[in-house]
C-alpha cells in the first residue's frame, strides 16, 4: 500500500471522532498527492459537516471533481453541501449529472434529490422521487432512512394543506 492510501485510510478511520488526527492524516495524504479525490472529499466533509464552512467545502469537492469527474465518492457530500448552502440550482445540476454516472449509488443520489425537492417545498414531486429511491434500494440500513424521510415529507405536505386552508 502506498503512503497516500495509508494516510487516507487513517483519516477515514479517524473521522468524525478524532478530527485532529483526521486532519493530520489528510495533510500528509495531500502532501504526497494533492489530487487524491478521497482525501479532497474527506477534507470537504470536514469543512462542511464539522466546521460548517460550506464555501471551503465546496472548493475541496470541486477540486476533487476537477481531478476526476467520475469520483463517485464526492457526489453525495458535494450535493448535500450545495443544498445546505442554499445553492439549489447547482445542486439540481449536480444531481442531474451524477445520475448519469455508471456505478453511482443511485438510491443515495435520489435521496439527495428528494431532500432538494423538500427544501423547495415540492412535496408531491419529492414523494414521487422517494418512491423511485425505494424501488432502487437494496440496503436494509437505508430502508429506515427512506421511511423517516417519507413520514417527514408527508407531515409537511399535510401541514402545508392545513395552512393553505386557514389562509383562505
C-alpha cell at 165: 386552508
Rounded CA-CA distance 40/23 in Å is 11
Band of the pLDDT at 41, cuts 50, 70, 90? very high
pLDDT tens digits, 78-99: 999 999 999 999 999 999 999 9
pLDDT tens digits, 98-122: 999 999 999 999 999 999 999 999 9
Nearest CA to 95 out of 115, 74, 105, 110 is that of 110
Share of the chain above pLDDT 70, in %: 99
Rounded CA-CA distance 121/106 in Å is 22
Given a cut of 80, whether residue 163 has pLDDT beyond it is no
Band of the pLDDT at 13, cuts 50, 70, 90? very high
**Domain that residue 41 falls in:** 3-167
Are the C-beta atoms of residues 83 and 118 closer than 8 Å to each other? no
Given a cut of 70, whether residue 168 has pLDDT beyond it is no
Write the CATH number for 134.
Answer: 1.25.40.10
- Mean pLDDT computed over 57-63: 98
Given a cut of 80, whether residue 164 has pLDDT beyond it is no
pLDDT of residue 100: 97
pLDDT tens digits, 15-31: 999 999 999 999 999 99
Q: Is 70 helix (H, G, I), strand (E, B) or coil?
A: coil
Counted domains in the chain: 1
Nearest CA to 128 out of 118, 119, 138 is that of 118
Amino acid at each position: 500500500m502506498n503512503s497516500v492510501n495509508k494516510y487516507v485510510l487513517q483519516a477515514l478511520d479517524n473521522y468524525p471522532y478524532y478530527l485532529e488526527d483526521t486532519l493530520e492524516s489528510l495533510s500528509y495524504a495531500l502532501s504526497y498527492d494533492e489530487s487524491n479525490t478521497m482525501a479532497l472529499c474527506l477534507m470537504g466533509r470536514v469543512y462542511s459537516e464539522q466546521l460548517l464552512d460550506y464555501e471551503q467545502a465546496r472548493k475541496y469537492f470541486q477540486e476533487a471533481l476537477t481531478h476526476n469527474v467520475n469520483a463517485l465518492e464526492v457526489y453525495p457530500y458535494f450535493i448535500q453541501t450545495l443544498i445546505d448552502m442554499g445553492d439549489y440550482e447547482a445542486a439540481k445540476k449536480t444531481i442531474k449529472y451524477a445520475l448519469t454516472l455508471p456505478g453511482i449509488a443511485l438510491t443515495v443520489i435520489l435521496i439527495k434529490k428528494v431532500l432538494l425537492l423538500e427544501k423547495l417545498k415540492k412535496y408531491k414531486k419529492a414523494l414521487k422521487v422517494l418512491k423511485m429511491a425505494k424501488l432502487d434500494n437494496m440496503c436494509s440500513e437505508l430502508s429506515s432512512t427512506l421511511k423517516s424521510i417519507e413520514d417527514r415529507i408527508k407531515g409537511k405536505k399535510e401541514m402545508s394543506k392545513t395552512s393553505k386552508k386557514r389562509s383562505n
